[in-house]
Structure 1
Amino acid sequence: MSAFAQKITMERGKFYVKGEQISTYETKQLLKSNYEASTLFKKGKTKEGVGGFLLGFGIAMVAGDAVVGLVSDTEYPSAMTYIGSTSIIASIPVLSGRTKKIKQAIDVYNNGLEPTLGYQNNSRLEMNVVANSNGYGLQIRF
């Protein structure tokens, strides 16, 4: 996989490989080779989707209540305005961390591309004894 691995850069929310812009889908496909980077990227994109939904929902609720208040004799700041305002405020912290997660995913991916020589202390070697319906066994992860 590393033979086709290419360094990804991000500028203004767009992804580039060798100076050419690539889509989010292509970026996701490149990041699949690194589990940690892929997970971080998915978390960032999930935050982006949820935050965008909360923001859009809140704006629609406030605007809808304003229109209803203008064209009818109902009391203007109704529950719709308060729900919409709360949704807009809730979207701020959700949206604020998305870029950081995506940049972190790209950094993890790019750092994984750099060739390393010898044994590294930060590599994980994990050994567990596992038991299931088939019997007992030894599980080694590295």
Structure 2
Amino acid sequence: MSSKNKKIITALSLMAVAIFIMAFSSMPSAGSKEITISEVVNGSDKFEGDYIMTEGLLNKESVQWDADKIELRFEIMDENELALPIFYKGVQPDNFTDDVIVIVEGFIGENGVFEAETVLTKCPSKYEGEDMENYDGEMHKEIFNDSQE
């Protein structure tokens, strides 16, 4: 095998390894723990340093968008109206409205604020055929998990 072929094979191998590493480092949800809002609020120190995922209904009145800094602050609530404050550095999702379920992935900050790295939105009425008063968190969780497979 010539020296030129060895260099090409080595370069292609390094590129394949780099792509493999980038692919897995960009999929943090594969290692996230799915927990409820009440687990986050009542045991935030227990999850410190863990990459976690939780979901809840958007509290539209809590939304604070700073376009200059590209920072979004808001709260999500569970069915008992227990609120979790969220901080996200990134673009506000297009469908950030009252009738939306927000799924966040990230870390619990020292101050108890959830520091989201990913913010996804879903409309429960679109997926369940129900209005918000009949929202079933378990049904949504099943739908979300099925869509991830």
**TM (normalized to structure 2)?**
0.26
- Greater per-residue strand proportion: 2
- Structure number with the bigger relative contact order (C-alpha 8 A, sep ≥ 6) is 1
- Greater per-residue helix proportion: 1
User: Which structure is larger by alpha-carbon Rg, 1 or 2?
Assistant: 1
